[in-house]
Amino acid sequence: MITVKLDVMLAKRKMSLTELSQVVDITLANLSILKTGKAKAVRFSTLEALCRALNCQPGDILEWTEDN
């Protein structure tokens, strides 16, 4: 299972979801879906924009864990 750790990175960078939305030009609604783990897919361009804005690596945002 892939877990999205966007909330952790936002806290580390002291950035709100609204601020991130403005920086990466992605709607607040779409970022919220991603943050809550309800997204079924993420485009590489979106992941790249998030990494650029948060100054992090994709592995800082996404984590794989084995299903139980």
Query: 50 exposed, middle or buried (CB, 10 Å; 0-12, 13-18, 19+)?
Result: buried
pLDDT over threshold 90, residue 67: no
Domains held by the chain: number: 1
Q: How confident is the model at residue 68 (pLDDT cuts 50, 70, 90)?
A: confident
Please tell me the distance from the alpha carbon of residue 16 to that of residue 63, in angstroms, as a whole number. Answer: 21
Per-residue model confidence as pLDDT tens digits over 12-57: 999 999 999 999 999 999 999 999 989 999 999 999 999 999 999 9
Entry pTM:
0.90
Identify the domain containing residue 13 by its residue range.
2-64
Looking up residue 20, the CATH number of its domain turns out to be 1.10.260.40
